[in-house]
Amino acid sequence: MRDAEAFFDTNVLLYLLSADTTRADRVEELLQQPGVVSVQVLNEFAAVASRKLRLSWAEIREVLAAIRRVCRTEPLTALDHDRAVELAARYRFSFYDSLILATALRAGCTTLYAEDLKHRQRIDDRLTIINPFVQG
């Protein structure tokens, strides 16, 4: 586990499938460095790619395999669940966002790339939320 590893939220990774080439290129750039995802992120990605984007399961497997080649995959644990409940109460995030945060913290990540959380917010003085599409 390296502190320099960043955790990727589902909403950021989904830009790999987007017609927005600027954002897709930005995500590809970020994935040049080792990163971390959770099983939750993989599950959410598959659900959105299937339901909303209507990709075939073969296409989804191909993209997920590419993500897993460059990102370490963290399981979800009962401790993550318990920590997510605490984080949701403390920071007023949704439970599923809190589960992402809990897993990123346990994995030792110092950065969480997420588009729909507060840019530059610090969590437990260890994890900084970064919207990779914000300038500055």
Using DSSP, state whether 35 is helix, strand or coil. Answer: strand
97-129 pLDDT, tens per residue?
999 999 999 999 999 999 999 999 999 999 999
- H or E segment to which residue 41 belongs: helix 39-51
The pLDDT-based confidence of 4 (bands split at 50, 70, 90) is low
Q: What is the pLDDT of residue 80?
A: 97
22-57 pLDDT, tens per residue?
999 999 999 999 899 999 999 999 999 999 999 999
Percentages helix, strand, coil for the chain (3-state, rounded to 5) are 50, 15, 35
- Name the architecture of domain 6-130: 3-Layer(aba) Sandwich (3.40)
Q: What does the domain layout of the chain look like in residue ranges? A: 6-130
- d(Cα 70, Cα 35) in Å, to the nearest integer? 7
Is there a contact between 125 and 102 (Cβ–Cβ < 8 Å)? no
Residue 122 sits at φ, ψ, to 5 deg, of -100, 135
